[in-house]
Chains A and B, each alone.
Chain A
């Protein structure tokens, strides 16, 4: 399986940086996410995770380091969390970590909503 590597650019700050590694199962999304046609950006990411589960079938860890995501992006992230929850329910080992700024209570509320909606445990960690 190929890795996914999308670098951030100051010209397009509305696209997050993405690093999905098929060897380690470590997936990271960082920066900000508020592009147009959000689902078109996230579709390859969702497909990659489905393929990883079906083909590699090993541990997977999702690290989210988004300081802002628009509501369309939250729908796409929720889709990913639901896929991971389904994998976990079938015996897959899954870890989800959400990095947050301690001065951003709105983001903590958002993560609580993701946990409630997807049913998956999300570990909160402060940004260093």
Chain B
């Protein structure tokens, strides 16, 4: 098997959609005990990052925003990859890229410590715990791949890919 696209989507990341896609993700991975729980959890975390933080968004009832972005789930011989892509402010790019690099350069025990510190210090409420990316890497135990692509003077795309081993 070279690779097979299992799921591909571009649009607003409504929870109702994420939930249905998540249910499909569980079905795709039924045969793989290691991947099944991990992939679903990573799928939810990264999808909700798009929903919460994409700079391209829909307003719902003038009350809250739903981020617009892309997701792509692929199956390979021994692993899956899950990719999300969304618009960010170029002024946030250094912070985000540094964050990806810090996560990639940390081992599991350092990530666990980082996760604890981040969660304790997060203001909570609408900001959540801000540990979704750390959690994704802790679950997959693989480094993330990221790509940064400038769009114009103000915005860029950031895509994040996580590899999840089947067994």
Query: Which A residues have a C-beta under 8 Å from some C-beta of B?
Result: 12-14, 34-39, 68, 70-72, 74-76, 78-79, 103-104, 106, 109, 113, 116-117
Contact = CB atoms under 8 A, between A and B. Distances in A.
30 contacts: A13-B19, A14-B15, A34-B19, A36-B48, A36-B66, A37-B126, A38-B128, A39-B124, A39-B125, A39-B126, A68-B37, A68-B40, A68-B44, A70-B44, A70-B132, A71-B129, A71-B130, A72-B48, A75-B119, A75-B124, A78-B119, A79-B124, A104-B37, A106-B37, A106-B41, A109-B112, A113-B112, A116-B116, A117-B116, A117-B120
**Sorted from nearest, which 7 A-B pairs have the closest CB atoms?**
A72-B128, A75-B129, A71-B129, A39-B125, A36-B15, A71-B131, A71-B132
Contacts of B128: 38-39, 71-72, 75
Interface of B, secondary structure class, is helix
A104 B44 CA distance: 17
B45 A71 contact: yes
B40 A117 contact: no
Contacts of B33: 103
Contacts of A34: 15, 19, 44, 48
B38 interface: yes
Interface string B88-118: 0000000000000000000000001001100
Contacts, number: 69
Contacts of B135: 71
Interface in B38-94: 38, 40-41, 44-45, 48, 51, 64, 66
Contacts of A104: 37
B39 to A, nearest CB: 12
Contacts of B131: 71, 74
Given A37-B126, A68-B40, A106-B37, 15 more contacts: A34-B15, A35-B15, A39-B125, A39-B128, A68-B44, A70-B45, A71-B45, A71-B131, A72-B129, A75-B122, A78-B119, A79-B124, A106-B138, A113-B112, A117-B119
